Amino acid sequence: MTAFLDDITIYPIKSTRGISLAQSSVAFAGLIGDRRYMLVNSEGKFVTARKDYLLSLIQVEHHGNDKLTLSYQDQQIVIDPDTFTAEYEATVIWKTDVQGQVCGKQYDEWFSRILGKAVRLVYFGDQSSRFTSRRPEQPVAFADGYPFLIASRASLRALAERCPEEVQMERFRPNIVIDGCEAFAEDTWAIFKIGDVVFETIKPCIRCIFTTLNPNTAEKSPQGEPFKTLCQFRQLVEDGKPQGPTFGMNLVALNEGVIKQGDQVKVLEYRTSEMYQDKSKA
């Protein structure tokens, strides 16, 4: 069984809809165009669809150089970096301070009307800087913690077999989707190559209630799925303590290059998978 790259997705604005690509250039900070924008509240703290569900319904077209066309129902706007201010402001993503470039009032007003509250759009500009926690030499833009997230179709199928509700890969928002491998094989890949690029696995991605949001309707699962099912068999255990359910692995790139759909996954080094509590076998 040969694993291969099945899909590539970028999310230009954190928490809005993704864009599927046939190929992508890979930079150390992430796929080109991925998580370059973020919404913040009046305190500068990042805003996501974990609470503001409608964000996940905003459709995005990417025109290169981070110029975007956004659509929501009958509302549309073009975001053009050439119109941005030269001002930067302090923003916070989780517990990390990041200087975000102020985009402009016209963009703030557009998002604020949709979400029904005051928000501002910031850009990861030339003066913005952020690094990953476990690899402090590795840059990352506005992604949650690491510049790349990988998951496999087989892992999704394994989850779907257990879950009483339909499960879409979009709920997990991976950049890199693999097929042609066994379920959760990605847990065991330490260093692997796709196309021109060698990736290193850093840690599993602990999931949250974002996974309960239907990507097509922005409605939450009344049963808390698939998060509830993940908790039954993918509960990460460290030092005897549950840390949360995981799906997918966080990565960094060891070089820059191009990846494209159909590229084979060449595993160069393996790792021992983390320990998981499977309550379904109890």
Domains of the chain, with CATH numbers? 4-29+134-281 (2.40.33.20), 34-123 (no CATH)
Task: Read off the pTM.
Answer: 0.95
Confidence class of residue 223 from pLDDT cuts 50, 70 and 90? very high
pLDDT at 53: 93
Cis upstream peptide for 226 (omega within 30°): yes
At 281, the pLDDT band (50, 70, 90 cuts) reads low
77-96 exposure pattern, b = at least 16 Cβ within 10 A, e = fewer: bebbeeebeeebeebebeee
Average pLDDT over residues 223-249: 94
Residue 277: its pLDDT value, please?
A: 85
Average of per-residue pLDDT values in the chain? 96
> Is pLDDT at 258 greater than 70 in this prediction?
yes
Which residues, 6 or more positions from 269, have their beta carbon under 8 angstroms from its beta carbon? Answer: 190, 191, 192
Q: How far is CA 128 from CA 74, 87, 102, 139, 164, in A?
A: 33, 11, 11, 10, 43
pLDDT digits (tens, 9 = 90+) for 57-97: 999 999 989 999 999 999 999 999 999 999 999 999 998 99
pLDDT beyond 80 at 230:
yes
Per-residue pLDDT, averaged over 135-164, amounts to: 97
Tokens of 113: 């009307």
The pLDDT of residue 186 is above 90: yes
pLDDT at 217 exceeding the cut of 60 = yes
Structure tokens at 169: 């890969």
